[in-house]
Structure 1
Amino acid sequence: MTGLDDWSYAKDWAPEQIAYASAAELAAGRLPLRAQWRLAEQRQRAERGDPGAFTSDLTVEEFAAIRSVGFAPVGQVLGTAVYQFAAVYQGCGFIGASPAGAPVVGLQLAQASLDEARHLAVRRMRFECDALGGDGVVGVRLGVLPFHDIGLEFLAIGTAVRAAGAVRPLRPFTCDLSGQDFAKLIRAGWVPVALLQGVGVTVRHNDWSQRIQSLSWANQELVGATALVRGARSVARTGLAQDAARVGAHTVVLRDLMSRMYERKCLSGYEAHDRIAEVVLWGTGIVPFGRKHRPHGAATEPPLPMLRLNPRKETG
């Protein structure tokens, strides 16, 4: 991202003019004007060597670990996107009693919206890193918050870092690795490429067999619920693998998994509810030193299976 000083003359504009121009910048895939001004000023302070020129949310241990492998923080960066989810429920596909039971159906609109919102937040965070002259972002944290009852705010926050050498990447990398894990990765001969995610959203009608099982006093598997969650996780893993192939990642270091299930009234006209499962996988795509980064899906081999960085970590 370039041209952060191109709008410096607009600082004296009225708030309405700034808001209008910022909306145009966002539509063009850039940052709002006030963010551009803030980042340009922060970068100028860093170039002058002013005290307090950078901010970060790194711990002392993370700061030391990153410096030990030739990187230094240049500033805390943030990306955000507020989304309204007005039309994401497409029905459960249940058409009545069947010996096979209700099917598991993918909610493509909901899945695409969740995926797009998080990618947009990460992309804007990467723009801020680029504006500060950073080579990448470490310690990325993703969050979702209610936004005044009109939508959801998707957040991506991390610390931009810059290598001491003269070689610069084609575009800043993003990763959710801690400073210590980032340093271990570099020492082992690997580098992060991008923060990846896979999203799966499925729905299944709470049919007669499922309701009977739920009312039973016996300990037993809820077959319909198992199929629902398994379907969502399968879709999420496929999406994560596709995301890895898109950026040319060799392997995915899986860091987190979010899984939740909830009910809503069936829209098919039956006196029952549908169960919806959402599964999101987050991880960092990595490549060994010397492997060229191919951002347009030019990978010649599928990525290896996902690896969990902390096998003791319990996920819901």
Structure 2
Amino acid sequence: MRNITRRLACTAVLCGVPAMDAAAQTNVTLYGRVVAGVDVQTNVQRPDGGSGTLWRGADNQWGTSMFGLQGTEDLGGGLKGLFQLESGFGATKGRTNGDALFNRRAYVGLQSGWGKLTLGKNLPVADAVWALDPTGQQFIGSATLVRGRNWQGHDNMVAYETPNLGGFSALALTSLGERPDSASKLRKDAISLTYTAPKFEVRAVYDVARDGNGNYSDLFTASKELTLGGTFTIADLKLFAAYENLSAPDSPAGAPTRANHYWLGANYQLTPALTLIGAFYRVMVNSGGGNANLYMLGANYNLSKRTLLYASVGTVQNSATANFSVEASNNNPAPGRSQLGAYTGIAHSF
């Protein structure tokens, strides 16, 4: 931390900024995580119509590799200034996840006893679903059977989060669409309600994502999303259950307009270092979109507070008209085919 403060102070002097302002940022933190391993998926459909087994490096399957900076400044009277910059990347190729440098978070804000206001870019409110997912939203998890719908980020964001009031908290935001002809085109809005107690937690998350015409025209990209769920802890066992509904009433004729997705799962702390994971997910899509069942087993083993070994395996069973992948990816099987997937690797946090 001293080194970071010195660098900030030196940079401030070189840029003509008073050193005292930089030195005041004593709580600026550099953090991150690097994840890498191997991944395999069977029955991946090839362009020629055949199927094959795909072997590749694994980086974001268990969790995103990332690095970031965050900090706060005491402004007096209980008011703080804050910022966060965070970029996700794939360790197997060393590339950022998308074109933006800070593709996960890039915001500035103010915080007081009245809550927190942030402006900029952030992860989606629906990302809070990770707390309801026994896998923590791995690639074989709650994002799989909705084709990553709950991973859409928020650019041009204005967000307000309440303080924790007896275990209850709320978050509301809008993500401006930057269209001069309409305030609704490409806009996203969301609200999240959470109640946390020592042994259980319940969450409700509702968000909407509009297309370029301001409509809900695609179930997995421009739609309304509602998620309800909770967790319950009994000694070393943590139970998970959730329901998710997607709605796209403006979809083209004959295209799916609704999906119902639910899951059950558990984490079991077998030893202080070893956590076992088990989960079941099911999705049902109307208008011929079919249905699918996803089964997942996994384990996390902590070698230390910073280094972890992980292994996950899953299978998806598709109905005749469905082609969901076993992982939240575009490596789909042919309609009606099942698929097996597995990945294992190392994660190190700093």
Max radius of gyration: which structure?
A: 1
Higher relative contact order (Cα pairs below 8 Å, separated by 6+ residues): 1
TM-score by length of 1: 0.30
Give 1 or 2: higher strand fraction.
2
Instruction: Give the structure-2-normalised TM-score.
Output: 0.28
